[in-house]
Structures are given as C-alpha cells and as structure tokens.
Amino acid sequence: MVMWSGDETMAPRQSVSEPEAELDLALAAELQAALLPGPAPCDCPHQEIAALNRMCGNVGGDFYDFTRINEDQIALVIGDVVGHGVRASLVMAKIMGWLRSDPVACSRPRQMISALNRMLLDLGDRIGTIVPCSMFHCVVDAPSGTSFFVTAGHPSPLLCDRNKCATLPLGPRNMLLGVEEFDPKEGCHTFGPGERMILYTDGICDAFDPEGEQFGNARLSEVVHQSLDSPPRECARSIFQAVEDFRRDARQTDDETIVVVDRV
C-alpha cells in the first residue's frame, strides 16, 4: 500500500505476474548476498575466521558480520531475525545497515545492543508488531585475546581447545531484541592460543531428518570435535555437510549460519 505525501489517496494496486515475482525474489537474494561480508578478514592478528550461510528460501533473516574497529580490535556479530522470507530479510538488511553506520559504536557491546534494541522497538511500534531478533555480539582485542560480549536470546557459542568442546559460559543471557526494553548484561572471556569459538544460528541444531528427529547440540559438538585439527573453513563445511547428510530428503526449514573463529 502506497500513500502519496500530503494526500490520503492510495496508489492503485498493481498486479505482479509470476515471472516478475520470481525476478524480484532473485534480485532480492542477490542484494541480500551482497550485504553479507565476503571472505572473512585475513589481516586480523592472532585470529583466523571463516563463515558459511545458507538460507532456507531465496532470502532469509540470518546474518553475520566482521567489523574492523581499529588496528587491534574486531567486532564479531551473528544474528537471526525471527522467521524467514522477505519480511525477515528486510529487517536483516536494516540491522546490517545500522551496524555498519558507526563502527566505533560496535566497540561497546552493551551500549550497541541497547541502542539496536530501541531501534527494533521503534520499528515494531511503527508497523504495529514486534520485530524479534537474536544476536551474539563480541569485541575481541587481538593482542591480549580479551573479549567482551553480549548474548541476546541467541544460542551460546561452543568454545573448544585441542581436547574438548563445551558451551561457552557467557555470563547472564539476555532476552531477544525487539520485544521490550532491557538493560543488557555483558560478559568477558580471554581467549588463549589454540582455542576455537563456534558461533551458529538455531537452524543448525533445529534441522530435522525425515523421521522428525532434530540434529541437536550433541551432534553439533561431535562434528566440531572431529574437526578440531581442520582449518576454520573446513570445520564450517564439515558442519554444513553433517547437517545436510542428517536431513537426507527432508527439506530445510530454517536459515543456517556458522562462524568459526580460531585464536592463533
């Protein structure tokens, strides 16, 4: 529905043919792919990073980003707009643009999450519905390995060393963004050489096989453990392949994203 400025006359509704709709979706998918970062930054001292993403449709609500704040600090973000399809992709695009508008602000996870939550609440007020989104936002200081992070309704990362993988205890978990005002709680962790962090969206563990069984956290941890000696990109590919093999002929029902970060 289009409203002309200064008038209450609505523009006539235009019918869209099926080929036009398909072209629009294809273009939307290309634009969304362009919003996501290309190859992970390879010039970050002490860090090796890889990421993979696959939407369950032409477009979706998963996103990730790497923001170089200064010579020593990098911000890592992974998020999931609740739902998928065109609506989720539009919200995802707005969030990505917002995050990139002020890289310096990304150095303060607590303040950044609080401001983003207010933006989504305002958006929800204007469209008359809540716009929920989960997010993990982490700032890593490369020389020291010290990181500060906020988890807002997002799956907790896996933290691995050469011997085991475990859910990273990230202090207090915060609620989803876009639901109501809250005061985000920030956590801290110092990464040591040889540690690996796995960030993922819930589409990974929520994948179903034809019998209706979930892939689950235990299978994810097993695949990650089997890939500890592989480079980050190979680890991410192994996870995607394991989910695809588990799903067999069942269709993908949610967007899936993996980010692997090694401390070297």
Which of 159-168, 230-239, 247-256 has the weakest average pLDDT?
A: 159-168
Q: What is the pTM of this model?
A: 0.86
Continuous segment of H or E residues that includes residue 256: strand 256-263
- Going along the chain from its start, the domains and CATH numbers come out as 40-263 (3.60.40.10)
80-105: pLDDT as tens digits: 999 878 888 889 999 998 988 888 88
Burial of 166 (0-12, 13-18, 19+ CB in 10 A): exposed
Position 19, amino acid: P
Q: What is the average pLDDT across 140-164? A: 89
Average pLDDT over the chain, rounded to whole?
85
∠ CA(202), CA(112), CA(47), 5° rounding? 65
